[in-house]
Structure 1
């Protein structure tokens, strides 16, 4: 796992938005919403839609995790 969208879901909780309402509002599919929930990579286009819809920046919705050096 290289990325974490916990910040995004915290914003949704703070704004009292359900995930499905949020997906419709910003114009993303349920499959994309599932990817976000699993901390999987999504396209830059999706990130732009989310940031425009929530009036925020990528730093507000995601965190890039450090590499695990084993």
Structure 2
């Protein structure tokens, strides 16, 4: 399973908010936002903090991508 946080970064652009500002308001570390920039999985606690800060839902900030045979995050490849 792969996760894409492109929706989150689009919201930040639309609201003219910098990642640094999101870190401060949501009380999440810059390294966590960097992980999201690389589409790595982060904890549900982080997702909840961001959703509460931005007043949005999980679907608004992330998209779960189905597994594909060549997908690096496929469980068989681990």
User: What stretches of structure 1 of length at least 5 have no aligned partner?
Assistant: none
Please state if 1:30 is matched with 2:30. Answer: yes
* Structure 1 runs (4+) greater than 3 angstroms displaced: none
1:62 equivalent in structure 2? 62
User: What stretches of structure 2 of length at least 5 have no aligned partner?
Assistant: 71-78
1:14 equivalent in structure 2? 14
Question: SS at the partner of 1:3?
Answer: strand
Q: Aligned equivalents of 2:45 and 2:19: distance in 1?
A: 18
Please state if 1:5 is matched with 2:2. Answer: no
Question: SS at the partner of 1:22?
Answer: helix
TM-score for the superposition, normalised by structure 2: 0.85
How much is the aligned-residue C-alpha RMSD, in angstroms? Answer: 1.2
Query: How much does 1:69 deviate?
Result: 3.1
Kindly tell me the number of residue pairs found equivalent between the two proteins.
70
Render the CA deviation track for 1:1-59: whole Å, top value 9, x for unaligned: 70000000000000000111111111100110111111000000000000000000000
